[in-house]
Amino acid sequence: MLSRTCSRNVVVGLSLRRALATEATTQTPGQPHENVGRVKKASKPGVSTSVILNRSPILTRPPTPFELAYYSYQARIRRSLHNPFPNDFYFKQGTLTETRFNIEERKRERLAFGPGFLEKEDISEEKRLANIAAVEQLAQQEGEGEELMPRTHAADVQGDVKSLDRRGHRNLYLLLHSVEGGKDVWRFPQGEAEKGLFLHQAAQKELHSACGDNMDAWIVGKTPVGVHKLQNTPSQDPASESEHVVFFFKAHIMAGQVIPTRESIKDFAWLTKEEIGDRVDQHYWDSIKDILSDY
């Protein structure tokens, strides 16, 4: 509201000044107030809402080689400086759990300080093997040793950009491949804001109408997180040229998947920031690049 009145005032002010200036220089007594009478009313800017639908990371970030070396170095320092472990507070003497802990602890010490660090256990070889066998049996009974899932999903291997499981440690964003005015463009789900709705409500409604009801999405906050001014296409009639702005809202997908419902939407993809940069045009990229996460 405020900005609209401001822009109107600016237009009026400019045209008035120009009118005065032309009067001073050209001196046309026949039509003294020609320009003042034809002050062009600033047309209302069109408002669209767009949703940046985000899938947060589902895996921890893999550490860099430097981080890896740093962490293991720090863990080693910590291990060598820690207070003595109160064995008798945590374990009853001679129990299987104590044996297991001791075996595991020796393994960790060997990993941290090398094989020559530990003294040899003062128990017989048979006893040692018996201990190991007993601990293995305990592990089987407790159902340990379950295989961890691999960090790369099948979608990463196949290059399936529609899967929500791809690139687990990155932020992914939904990008739609749609046809606008005969042109193929990749952009975030976007639509005209309806009259009578708040912007964040309009964004939610638009998201569901474009991407289907088969997902659980939550719009973060009521304030837009970014704005994009559409480039005016050079048309013949300058009067029809009007400003059009797109307000971005951030949203999270909690469950479900996108099912495009419109004819104009050809395809969709869940992409990281760099992949988005490859697909959208430069003007759009300048508006969105600082909203997207580098991780």
Q: Which of 17, 76, 107, 283 binds other proteins (CB under 8 A)?
A: 76
Nearest alpha-carbon partner for 141 in 133, 152, 151: 133
Select from 31-39, 85-93, 203-211, 269-277 the region that touches other proteins (CB under 8 A). Answer: 85-93
Q: Which of 100, 187, 228, 250 binds other proteins (CB under 8 A)?
A: 250
- Residue 105: CB atoms within 10 A of its CB come to 13
What residues between 129 and 148 interact with other proteins by CB under 8 A? 148
Interface with other proteins (CB under 8 A), residue total 38
Nearest alpha-carbon partner for 152 in 135, 136, 170, 134: 170
Q: Which of 81, 122, 236, 263 binds other proteins (CB under 8 A)?
A: 81
Q: Does 209 bind other proteins (CB under 8 A)?
A: no
- Residue 200: CB atoms within 10 A of its CB come to 19
**Complete DSSP assignment for 112-150:** HH-TTSSPPPSS-HHHHHHHHHHHHHHHHHTT--PPPPP
- Determine contact, residues 175/279, Cβ cutoff 8 Å: yes
Q: Does 85 bind other proteins (CB under 8 A)?
A: no
Helix or strand run (H / E) with residue 227 = strand 226-229
What residues between 153 and 182 interact with other proteins by CB under 8 A? 171
Nearest alpha-carbon partner for 91 in 78, 101, 79, 80: 101
Q: Does 58 bind other proteins (CB under 8 A)?
A: no
Q: Which of 6, 14, 62, 209 binds other proteins (CB under 8 A)?
A: 62
Least Å from the CB of residue 23 to other proteins: 36
| CA distance to 70, 277, 292, per residue, from 229 (Å) | 46, 18, 18
Q: Which of 83, 235, 236, 282 binds other proteins (CB under 8 A)?
A: 83
Q: Which of 90, 198, 266, 283 binds other proteins (CB under 8 A)?
A: 90
Angle between helices 125-141 and 96-113 (to 10 degrees): 110
Q: Does 63 bind other proteins (CB under 8 A)?
A: yes
Binding residues for other proteins (CB under 8 A): 56-57, 60-63, 65, 67-72, 74-78, 81, 83, 89-91, 111-114, 148, 151, 171, 220-221, 223, 225, 250, 252, 293, 295
